[in-house]
Amino acid sequence: MISIKNEKQIKLMEESAEALKAALRAIEENIRPGVSTLYLNEVAENAMKKHGAIPAFKGVPCPYRGGKPYKWAICTSVNDEIIHGIPSSSVILKEGDIVSVDLGTYKNGWASDAGRTYGVGKISPVCEKLIKVAKDAFFVGIDQAVPGNRVGDISNAIQTYVEKQGFSLLREFQGHGIGQDMHEDPGVPNIGKKGTGPRLQAGMALAIEPMICEGKPDVYVKRDLWTIATVDKKMTSYYENTIVITNDGPKILTLD
């Protein structure tokens, strides 16, 4: 069921998003060659706690049989890993890498969710384009996030833009509604047809997250039963924000 947030509830979501934005700033300040992804996890979690929030991802059940619940504050996916990568002291960022970071917070019972892809030092032109296209696709998508439109209008706008840039979109995963739970209705695919899906209303909160691949969108689950990576080993990028639909256009909660 899709929940419509009132002004008080949106304010609480904004407070949660403030803690998330602080964590994003801490991560961005520490992206450099020689840093481990586990260290990024530590600075992000410290920032969340400093702002009175808790990591939303800790304890999330593994979707695959035999996997253990997630125990980190963020996901760190490097290069051909597109989502759900696990922070590790043995994963050391090096010049030319790109790392996608996904994180969520709970504060006062309300969630926020966002993601970014960062270049490590000097990166290749294709990686620069991947990062830009993922971000631009988000903004193309939210141009359609207005009352009266449908979810498929967001999906189609993202798909059309990304494919025109020569990249592909992850099909098995999607954006989602958000509120007191991290994942709520409706689902927000990155591929779809105009005029399809649930009708958008003021007060709906959505996490919109284009996940794009340099090559083919075929992916597999690594042995850790969390990390999703491309079969062709080509690069990936990701960009996400939590938004609220209003009568005056979409309001982005997780962007400074």
Rounded to whole angstroms, how far apart are CA atoms 179 and 185? Answer: 10
Peptide bond into 186 cis (omega under 30): yes
CB 44 within 8 A of CB 74: yes
Tokens standing for residue 255? 């962007």
CATH 3.90.230.10 fits 7-252, yes or no: yes
Kindly list the domain boundaries of the chain, sorted by start residue: 7-252
Confidence at 48, pLDDT banded by 50, 70, 90 = very high
CA distance linking residue 31 with residue 118, whole number of Å: 8
For 140-156, the pLDDT digits (tens) are 999 999 999 999 999 99
What pLDDT digit, counting tens, does each position of 193-213 carry? 999 999 999 999 999 999 999
pLDDT score for 33: 98
128's torsion region: left (phi>0), alpha (psi -120 to 50) or beta?
alpha
Q: State whether residue 20 is helix, strand or coil.
A: helix
- Token pair 């998003």: residue: 17
